Chain A
Amino acid sequence: MSLPRLKDVAHKVRSKNAGPFWLTIDIFCGTPEAYEIIVEKLTSAQVARCFDTPEQTLKRFDIADLNVVKFSLPRPTIQGSIYDRDMHGASWAALLAEVEI
């Protein structure tokens, strides 16, 4: 049996630029139960692998009051540079949402 993916447990995952040089991903867990599962199961190492970024560059915020787990990282390519594929950083959430936890 395959493991559940982040999107099966979380209410919503979104990503967006935080300025041209940073990317930020918000995981809205929806309930305290889902929040506990995601905080426990989703490791920073997994997220770093997903975005092919060194783990030490990743900023992680576990925000129990909002049932949110947030990650920020230097943008994998600077916004709008010739190898950038996603001007608004909109699609990165989909890649993380499909990670097995």
Chain B
Amino acid sequence: MVKVLVPSGALGLNYDKKALQRGILAKPDIIAIDGGSTDSGPSYLGRGVSKYARSSTKIEWAGLMEARAEAGCPLVIGTAGTCGTDSAVDWMLDITREIAAEQGRPVKIAVLRSSQDADFIAKSFRSNKVTPLPNAPEIDVDTITSCTNIVALAGAEQITKALETGADIVIAGRTTDTAIIAALPLNQGLNTGGAWHGAKIGECGALCATNPQSGVILIDFDAEGFTITPMADDAKATPHTVSAHMLYENSDPFILYEPGGYLDVTSSKYKALDDISVRVTGSKWVPSDRYTVKLEGARVAGYQTVVMALLRDQHYVAHAQVWADDIIAKCSAKARDRLGLSEDDFSLQIRLIGQNASFGELETNHILPTEIGATGIVTAKTEALSNEIAKLLNPYLLHHPLTVEEEVPTFAFLFSPAEMPRGATYEFVLNHTLTLDDPMDAFTLEVHEFA
């Protein structure tokens, strides 16, 4: 039996302290929490930074470090600092060092690094060890070397190596969401399908139960499967909430690919043990013949500057699309003419918030709104160029008339200056796997002792 305590779906989202205390009393063998995701977009990976506030991360992590000392078990975080690059791992390590000093308690820390050297990935690509996943973009060696950061997603094998150092705390770079939970039950020889399935159900904390905001859950792994129990007073897991969690952020609700194989939950059985706990058995693990890890990479796609105007005059609200299309045509021509640019050198969009900013031409709901936020987005190869084109756009968004006959209108600007430089914008360019001879080939492990 292995008990894994999961405090919440991500460090930075907070957890119910009373529920965490109840979890500690249940004597967990490990406390595991996820620190990241690609869900907030490519900028965090591209820059190698966390999306969560340092203050929130520090307060919540300090609480978990206290809990770990009280429970006398290891604490592991996967995908530290949102993106799991080496820089994000160092940020997390720095926070951990500060807390250890403040708590006055010596700790041994294992650091698992997932950042990849672009030349190593390029070499692997040339030797056909980089394989596209469904809907992967076309890539070449230049795509790989243009990435500002590339990470590989560690699986259970690498987390196990980190735990085997005897560390109190494991700070891992990019890992799969499930690996940090599945590693210990797998290492103890418990049911393989159950280990991965329980990890998937538990990786978002109490999202698999009622009262998902409460965060804390306990997963009890055994030789046949696992039992999941939310720790908050008013949270309940039911066969429906647990099985429905396989839908979440999964393109296939029955199959989950992991390093070394895949989980198949087609024949899983979900049974309510009481009002709050659910037992799951019958989950299958299918090992693959090659050991692969998924790669993520991001690079600079350009530099952006945003200009916003508010349309409130009903004549302009009613004809906003015509107005915006006319501005794009005229401003683009001016940018080409005055700056000597070609069409490929920049992009100019105006999104009409209140009308169709979510879906553009796919929008099916057409009603006249009270007002429209016209958001001009300029993307160009340099920051100076995107700011310059935004300045060409500014007078159009302020004064562009629908027809030459009408009086020159003026629209509301929110700020001065109206141009809002966003700096570099990033794009995800890898959706590939990397084949490894040994699971540790793309990862490194180091141990720190803070006295």
Number of B interface residues at 8 Å Cβ cutoff, please give it. Answer: 44
Looking at B240, B302, B351, the one whose CB has the most chain A CB atoms below 10 A away is: B240
A20 near B358: Cβ-Cβ < 8 Å: no
Q: Provide the residues of chain A in CB contact with B431, threshold 8 Å.
A: 19-21
Contact B40 A87 (CB under 8 A): yes
B426 within 8 A of A: yes
**Residues of chain B within 8 A of A91, CB atoms compared:** 358-359
Q: Which residues of B contact A16 (CB under 8 A)?
A: 248-249
Stretch at the interface among B58-66, B189-197, B219-227, B250-258: B250-258
Contact of B362 with A by CB under 8 A: yes
| Chain A min CB distance to B422 (Å) | 11
Q: Is the C-beta of B137 less than 8 angstroms from some C-beta in chain A?
A: yes
Q: Which A residues lie within 8 Å of B358 (CB)? A: 85-86, 91, 94-95
> Which residues of the partner chain A approach B301 to less than 8 Å between Cβ atoms?
81-82
B250 touches A80 (CB 8 A): no
Cβ A95 vs Cβ B42 within 8 A: no
A50 adjacent to B38 (CB under 8 Å): no
- Please indicate the chain B residues that have their CB under 8 angstroms from the CB of A83 in the complex: 349
Q: Is the CB of A82 within 8 A of B38?
A: no
Given contacts A66-B243, A85-B359, contact A22 B364 (CB under 8 A): no
Top 5 A-B residue pairs of the complex, sorted by shortest distance between their CB atoms: A80-B41, A72-B251, A74-B135, A18-B251, A80-B42
Interface residue ranges, B against A (CB under 8 Å): 38-43, 133-137, 240, 243-244, 247-254, 296, 301-302, 304, 347, 349, 351, 357-360, 362-365, 377, 379, 425-428, 431
Binding site for B on A (CB under 8 A): 16-22, 24, 26, 28, 50-52, 59, 61, 63, 65-66, 68, 70, 72, 74-75, 78-83, 85-88, 91, 94-95, 98-99
Q: What are 8 A-B contacts with C-beta separation under 8 Å?
A: A20-B296, A21-B135, A68-B247, A79-B42, A79-B428, A82-B377, A88-B40, A95-B358
